[in-house]
Amino acid sequence: MFPFLESRKLLVAGVSGGPDSLTLLHLLHQAGYPLLVASFDHRLRPASGADVLHVQRIAAALGLPFVTDSADAAAHARDAGLSLEEAARHLRYRFLFRAARRAGAQAVAVGHTADDQAETVLMHFLRGAGLTGLKGMPPRSLLPVFDPEIPLVRPLLGWTRAQTENYCRENNLPALKDPTNADTTYLRNRLRHELLPQLETYNPQIRQTLAKTAAALQGDAELLNQLTDSAWQQTIRAVESGFVAFDLPQLRELPPALRRNLFRRAIFTLKPGLRDADFDALEKACTLKAVEVAGGLKTLIEAEVLYLTEDESALPAAKWPQIRQPYKVTGSPLDLENGWSLTCELIPPPASFVTPDPFSAFFDADLTEGRLRVRPCRAGDRFEPLGMPRQTIKLSDLFVNLKIPKRLRPHWPVLCVEEEIAWVPGLRMGHHYRCTESTRHVLAVRIKRPTNV
């Protein structure tokens, strides 16, 4: 009946008691699949508990094991900031996949039909979805937010709702009618009872047309997924629990369609349960600028890297020196943060006082002896850059001009002689404490980066 299911391995059948799920249960049972019947009570109606008992009696009549659970979907919607439909879906799927995991089932089977497919495609279209949304629900899919290995299967996508109702009548299956299905407060019900009947006046086969369109687009989506896989490998610099990092020049080379799919995948990687990343959100991300995307996620640009993150503190900082408290500089190595360290030593005057390493500097030791401090930068800091005697600039302007990420500026180390800034490591040397032809003793100071950076 379903080619990629093992005939002798357990299936969890999600059954609400309506005609779709009862048809699914009966067909799977007739086909000989080992089944665990699972029914969830969302507590949205006073009679919902009786519906679960009804399903339990049907399972017992078929000689099948039964599991159930319940939760207040309305309360979950309020607490999680979800729509009632989303909250109910989340609770139901969490229950079904937990039951499948405990039972060692090969898959969770649900009774989605061609009508559900048509409604889903139309709903995604109205929300501004791309190909991923317009392809609708595939016959088999993984939902990592619920289980990374057990698939969700939909054996009835080729059936219409009218067919499942006829099947129940012909086989004397006591199907329930859920009165909430008539409540047009819910978007899906408005589509079902208001918009789709209107569209049928233009195309009487609109439900079938939408379902066929989804099936056709699923093949196109597979091809696009393969291209996205390749582009992902090409553009990704890092994927961590709090961020996804892209190579910005590589992103710029890609067509917008591939960019959108990369960002959709990155969003799903960080927030598997996020379902409001619509076309507009993806288009904003594709501008490759610092923007708010969706669900609290945002893009940040640092040098040649584009980050997608919710929290800037999750981004890596080991590439740059950071310090959170002042220290006196002595001859001993000084540990900063992120694995960086500071060393200093007296050396003979070198052939050149210019060093190619921006994290190394030479100072006139007679001017600095015993007075060196290293501290985080402060608001209002100014210093006299090399080559600009008696002229000071704001340290904040230097950070902006050199495009130092804003999140790193408050803890960037500065080397001072007493309170006067003598060096901004990695950026600029100060003028007053430089070595000159008259310098007799040279102090070499170096900020060392971690070996793994």
In a domain, 89, yes or no: yes
* pLDDT of res. 292: 92
Q: Which of 166, 191, 212 is the last residue of a domain?
A: 212
CATH code assigned at 67: 3.40.50.620
pLDDT at 167: 97
Alpha helices (H) in 308-394, listed in sequence order: 365-368
Would 61 be classed as within a structural domain? yes
Mean pLDDT, to the nearest integer, of 72-86? 88
Distance CA 228, CA 262 (A): 6
pLDDT of residue 391: 92
> Can you tell me the distance from the alpha carbon of 365 to that of 353, in angstroms, rounded to the nearest whole number?
13
Give tens-digit pLDDT for 326-376. Answer: 999 987 889 888 889 999 999 998 888 888 899 999 999 999 988 999 999
Task: Please answer whether residues 88 and 44 qualify as being in contact, where contact means their C-beta atoms are separated by less than 8 angstroms.
Answer: yes
- Given a cut of 60, is residue 257 above it in pLDDT? yes
Check residue 80 and give its pLDDT: 83
Q: What is the mean pLDDT of residues 291-315?
A: 90
More confident: 391 or 82: 391
Domain harbouring 352, CATH code: 3.50.40.10
Please name the amino acid found at residue 99. A
Task: Print the domain residue range for 67.
Answer: 11-212
pLDDT in tens, 164-178: 999 999 999 999 987
In a domain, 219, yes or no: no
Are 16 and 63 within one domain?
yes
Residues 347 and 432 in one domain: yes
Domain limit, last residue, from 212, 230, 259: 212
- 28 and 154 part of one domain: yes
Taking only the tens place, the pLDDT of each residue in 263-283 is 999 998 898 767 657 778 889
Which element (helix H / strand E) includes 233? helix 206-235
Whether residue 335 is found in the same domain as residue 366:
yes
For residues 51-89, one letter each, b for 16 or more C-beta atoms within 10 angstroms of the residue's C-beta and e for the rest, the string is bbebbbebbeeeebebbbbebebeebbeeeebebebbbe
Instruction: Say yes or no to pLDDT of 437 above 60.
Output: yes
| Chain CA centroid to CA 185, Å | 30
Residue 220 is assigned to a structural domain of this protein: no
Tell me: do 50 and 138 sit in the same domain: yes
Residues 249, 264, 210, 87: what is their CA dihedral angle, to the nearest 10 degrees? -170
Q: Of 287, 314, 341, which residue is a domain's last?
A: 314
Same domain flag for 250 and 160 = no
* Residue 19 included in any domain: yes
Same domain, 338 and 391: yes
| Same-domain check for residues 193 and 75 | yes
Going through 235-385 in order, the beta strands assigned E by DSSP cover 236-240, 243-247, 292-294, 297-302, 305-309, 327-328, 334-335, 341-347, 360-364, 372-376, 382-383
State whether 306 and 335 are in the same domain. no
Look at residue 287 and tell me whether its pLDDT is greater than 60: yes
Domain CATH number, residue 286: 3.30.465.60
Residue 169 lies in a domain: yes
Q: Let me know: does 237 contact 308? Beta carbons within 8 Å.
A: no
Q: Are residues 50 and 167 in the same domain?
A: yes
pTM value? 0.68
Do 277 and 420 sit in the same domain of this protein?
no
pLDDT at 275: 62
Does residue 159 register a pLDDT over 80? yes
The answer to whether position 222 is within a domain reads no
Whether the pLDDT of residue 1 is over 80: the answer is no
Indicate the number of domains in the chain. 3
Please give the average per-residue pLDDT across 197-206, as a whole number.
Answer: 94
Q: Is residue 2 part of a domain?
A: no
pLDDT score of 452 = 66
Residues 38 and 117 in one domain: yes
